[in-house]
């Protein structure tokens, strides 16, 4: 009895050590789990969650585009026409809001394309992940056609983030 209590106590101690150091999820964050979150967010059209999950490099790309839009009145007019974002709103928009507005604008401009893509994401099948140090590629199949797609991920602050290219 005394020995089994010691094993139980050690097990509880080990569990709390895992939880307190961020390893509460068995296996922790992987490129696959990051990809699954990305796919769920896109399928749900939760563009705020997409922004929150993006790599810093992807965010910086969006910030560069926003800076250009805010400086160039012709580009603001194009954005207003293409994505239905009022030019005066663009002048003071924050990067996260800009990303969400662009994605929602694409929903409005190309609703059938976005709808088809979101539906396809619901029926994807994970194929494999390749990890090399702080970089990874995730491969998946869409539908029953067997066509493979891929996405790059980068490890930042202990979590895998998608690299979204514009």
Q: How many residues does the chain have?
A: 166
CA–chain centroid gap for 43, Å, is 11
pLDDT at position 86 is: 83
Q: Is residue 18 part of a domain?
A: no
Q: What is the CATH number of the domain that holds 124?
A: 3.10.450
C-alpha 164/C-alpha 161 separation (Å) is: 9
46: in domain: yes
Tokens of 82: 């293409």
In a domain, residue 8? The reply is no
Count of domains for the chain: 1
What pLDDT score was predicted for residue 108? 83
- Rounded CA-CA distance 42/120 in Å is 10
Among 141, 139, 143, 142, smallest CA distance to 152 is for 139
Domain assignment present for 100: yes
- Beta bridge partners of residue 139, listed in sequence order: 128, 150
Q: What domain range is 40 assigned to?
A: 31-162
pLDDT at position 166 is: 62
- Does 9 map to a domain? no
Q: Determine the Cα–Cα distance for residues 160 and 153; give it in Å rounded to an integer.
A: 6
d(CA 9, CA 3): 10
Residue 22, domain member (yes or no): no
Q: How many CB atoms lie within 10 A of CB 143?
A: 11
Instruction: Look at residue 62 and tell me if it is in a domain.
Output: yes
How do residues 56-112 score in pLDDT, each as one tens digit? 999 999 999 999 988 988 888 888 888 888 877 888 899 999 999 998 988 888 888
71 is a domain residue: yes
């Amino acid at each position: 009895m005394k020995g089994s209590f010691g094993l139980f106590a050690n097990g509880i101690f080990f569990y709390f050590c895992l939880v307190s150091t961020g390893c509460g999820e068995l296996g922790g964050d992987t490129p696959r789990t990051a990809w699954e979150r990305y796919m769920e967010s896109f399928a749900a059209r939760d563009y705020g969650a997409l922004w929150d999950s993006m790599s810093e490099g992807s965010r910086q790309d969006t910030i560069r585009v926003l800076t250009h839009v805010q400086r160039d009145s012709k580009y603001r007019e194009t954005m207003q026409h293409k994505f239905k974002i009022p030019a005066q709103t663009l002048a003071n928009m924050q990067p996260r809001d800009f990303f969400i507005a662009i994605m929602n604008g694409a929903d409005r401009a190309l609703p059938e394309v976005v709808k088809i893509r979101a539906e396809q994401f619901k029926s994807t099948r994970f194929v494999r992940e390749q990890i090399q140090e702080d970089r990874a590629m995730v491969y998946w199949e869409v539908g029953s056609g067997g066509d493979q797609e891929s996405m790059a991920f980068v490890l930042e602050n202990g979590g895998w983030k998608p690299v979204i290219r514009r």
